[in-house]
């Protein structure tokens, strides 16, 4: 009996990997890529916060600055009046924390994570932590937030109490409910 000669293994005669092993390699590479991406993103987020870099949180831009006296860079794209309102936040934070905002942010209509007061329209995190102050740009493009802040400032200058300010803001902005 004669043995049949086997053709030499060349690229065209090499055994082909099965579909399941190719899929396994592809999933492994995809998992490795996702893991590297996650590590990179997590590593950058701490550095960005320390450097005061802007980062997105849903539809809002947040930026951490060293103190309440250092305003966020995103205000450079807005009017001086808007910057003045942000400068006044810490002076009026106790009152702002008691005020409702009627732009829809407290209902989750204007933002992904509902706000708990007018103060949250200016500060992403309150009270300010050891790492500085984290600002949000939400109120930079919201006329209601700005008008409410103007009222807080003006009524405080007039000597109004927080309760009187709250009532004035409710009277001006709270939607009338049908009876």
For the cut 90, the answer to whether the pLDDT of residue 158 exceeds it is yes
What would the pLDDT profile of 58-96 be if each residue is shown by its tens digit?
Answer: 788 999 998 889 999 999 999 999 999 999 999 999 999
Task: Write b or e for each residue in 134-143: b if 16 or more Cβ atoms lie within 10 A of its Cβ, otherwise e.
Answer: bbbbbbbebe
- How much is the pLDDT for 35? 53
- How much is the pLDDT for 129? 60
Give the tokens for residue 12: 């065209």
104: left (phi over 0), alpha (psi -120 to 50) or beta: left
Phi first, then psi: what are they for 12, rounded to 5°? -80, -20
- How much is the pLDDT for 59? 83
Report the alpha-carbon angle 118-45-110, nearest 5: 30
Taking the CA atoms of residue 52, residue 86, residue 106 and residue 95 in that order, the dihedral angle to the nearest 10 degrees is 120
Rounded CA separation 53/148 (Å): 28
What would the pLDDT profile of 93-119 be if each residue is shown by its tens digit?
Answer: 999 999 999 988 888 776 778 889 999
Query: What percentage of the chain carries pLDDT values higher than 70?
Result: 69
Q: What is the mean pLDDT of the chain?
A: 80
Rounded CA separation 159/164 (Å): 10
Cβ 73 vs Cβ 140: under 8 Å: no
Give the tokens for residue 117: 């007061």
Rounded CA separation 165/153 (Å): 10
Rounded CA separation 153/86 (Å): 11
What would the pLDDT profile of 17-51 be if each residue is shown by its tens digit?
Answer: 566 777 777 666 666 555 555 444 444 444 444 44
């Amino acid at each position: 009996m004669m043995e049949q000669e086997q053709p030499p293994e060349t690229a065209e005669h090499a055994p082909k990997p099965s579909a399941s092993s190719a899929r396994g390699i592809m999933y492994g590479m995809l998992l490795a890529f996702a893991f590297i991406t996650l590590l990179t993103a997590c590593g950058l987020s701490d550095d960005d916060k320390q450097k005061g870099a802007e980062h997105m949180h849903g539809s809002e831009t947040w930026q951490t600055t060293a103190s309440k006296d250092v305003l966020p860079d995103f205000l450079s794209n807005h009017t001086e009046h808007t910057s003045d309102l942000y400068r006044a936040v810490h002076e009026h934070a106790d009152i702002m924390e008691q005020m409702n905002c009627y732009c829809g942010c407290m209902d989750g209509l204007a933002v992904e994570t509902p706000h708990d007061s007018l103060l949250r329209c200016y500060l992403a995190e309150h009270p300010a932590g050891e790492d500085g102050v984290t600002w949000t740009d939400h109120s930079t493009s919201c006329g209601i937030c700005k008008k409410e802040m103007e009222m807080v400032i003006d009524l405080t200058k007039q000597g109004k109490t927080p309760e009187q300010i709250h009532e004035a803001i409710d009277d001006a902005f709270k939607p009338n409910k049908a009876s």
